Structure 1
Amino acid sequence: MTARAAALRDQGVDVITLSQGEPDFDTPLAVQEAGIRAIREGRTRYTAVAGIKSLREAIRDKLRRDHGLDYAIEAITVGSGAKQVVFNALYASLDAGDEVIVPTPCWVSYPDMVALAGGKPVLVPCPERQGFKLRPEALEAAITPRTKWLMLNSPSNPTGAVYSSGDLAALAEVLGRHPQVHVLTDDIYEKLVYDVRFATMAQVASDLFERVLTVNGVSKTNAMTGWRVGYGAGPLPLIKAMNTIQGQTSSHTSSISQHAAVEAIAGNQNYIAGFVTDFRQRRDLVVAKLNEAEGLHCRTPDGAFYAFASCAGVIGKRTSKGQTIETDTDFSMYLLDQFAVAVVPGSAFMASPYIRISYASSLADLKRACERIIAACTALT
């Protein structure tokens, strides 16, 4: 959708792109300066595959400070974004036919990464009436002797759902009966929560500590998507295997980005509160406006910067050009082609009929986009 929107923009169309999960804030100045300083000081050579010691120490201290988790730096690895860390973990641990439970709606890459690593993604629907969250009974029903991993993303892309400590404890009770199942927690939106408290599985269920890989990074919280720095902390044998995979693929993360990430993780992070305040204002605007649109319904997300709106009410309607809206993809293309707003269909996240709107854009653009969406819905018959 982003590529198609860019092509239309090149043709002179005033497209508003709400399809990318990327903060519109600049990387904080202190982090920028840390990267520049690394260049000027000649820190541009190869690093250890697992990452520079100072960054892994900063990650260790952060996990201890924020969640009471105690890892040796040898049990921490740094990758080129959280995405690479997730893939390395799957590739290092899955045998052919091993199963990975993926609650849906889910981030688009999870099922494909499982398949690329030779595993079998087991998609477990988590409907809106359940807050888009995995229930213990659904987890129990999905586990088989071949289950290797449960993947949890909280706050969630695309729904913004956040698992409470109680939610995680209930899942942990199930996992306690199945020692072959490990847990991969993708906490990349950890700091971007509204009126709820963030919790992560290794923190909530200490008895599962040696079965949990905690994944995070600096992309979303610190507005550093292009710097490509993610990390994982978990059982030492798994981390060693992941480092082996990385050593034969990307070698290591950019040395400059790693030095900048030390500042992002260990430095002053007062700016994050400002990010959250802005995102909250944008969220409230978008949710209110989407709920004004005929045929749309949007619950208020508790975290991240996405609104996941049901478009069930527009399915079966017709456009002014005589096209019938049969799927959420049809609706998304209609919004782009006739009203110049780019969103992502829920089918990309294994959930239909929904659309995902990123509110990581300016209030002005969000207002304009929402008015266009309302007009688009009104124009359907």
Structure 2
Amino acid sequence: MKLLNTDIKNKVLNSMISIIDGDREKILKANSKDCELFDKKDRAMYDRLVVNDKKIDGMINSVREIMEQEDPVGKTKSERNLENGLTIKNKTAPFGTIMIIYESRPDVTIEAAVLAFKANNKILLKGGKEAYHSNKALEACWHKALQENGLDTSWIQLLHMNRTETQEFLKNPPEKLDLIVPRGGEKLIAFVKEHAKCAVLVSGRGNNFLYVAKDADWEKSIKVILNAKTHKISACNALDKILIDSAVPDYEEKLKELDSILTEKGVSILVDEQTGSILSDESVIKDESIWHEEFLAMKCCIGTVQGLDEAIEKINKFSGGHSSTVMTNDPDKAIKFMEQVDSAAVYHNASTRFTDGGAMGVGAELAISTDKLHHRGPLGLEQLVTNKYYVFGDGQIRN
């Protein structure tokens, strides 16, 4: 796609703000069709599917935030003047065409597209069938905004394909794909990695851990655990696993208190053998594979560890590499945890729920990357560009 100047991109986004607001009733009506057809037993997926006025306001705000951010394309990262007279500049450049595959969340149709477009990328949106009507309504908003400003609607396209068609598309894309972002569970990620012919940036599972050290502030720990576990169970930054140090003062009483508080909030609890010897009413974990699972439900595991090193080892073995928290009053212990735990975001005395573009000050996000190349964590506007070298000479040749 050709390079657009910042002014025209911002005009499209400004149009989009008005169009979304003006088409609010159409969007809500389309979403109600999707919600009526959806099996509400899957609470996490249903929560992600629902669009209301607050979510539409959030979509508008996301577009406005990106419109106000600096254009990430064409920025000079470095410049060198060599002895041979060459001037070498390394500048940011668009990826080209990005494909994102996601489920349920219609707001991704706005957030992913606004980021890709402002970074001068074409984007192909493969949403889930459960959000078909919602996504169609939002795509229509994008096309209206592009056409109002004299641009082709191919900049932002919604794809409607079943699994077999998607597999064929990945194997033999009808156009060049530069980056694919699968935003979903491990099965989706494995499917895309198996069939894609271009770079895949993984927005991996959550399965986030929190470790309570022996010197932690217990009241603060309870507050953080409750927020991380119950605030929004459908989010990839929700808490699933809690590790309690066996050296916590009044260990048994505090375990029972935590169990009682979580149970009152409707959280079902699984425990390891040592914890189960105290919390005898809870189910004991028989298969350690449960420690790998992302729940997206009012469910958690509580385990007991003997110190910081064991906590770090367990987290690195089982977590999804997304977010991990240590509760401690010892800054040295916190730094050791944060340096040695292999997660995209590591926290000291704070909820994992902050692993989010908006909450981290990045703005709208394409996804939370758990990959290490080319970026880890929230994929915001600045992360949706690559780079290339501009080499200026005057007839130089290499001997």
TM-score by length of 2: 0.23
**Structure possessing the higher radius of gyration over alpha carbons:** 2
Quick check: which one's strand share is greater? 2
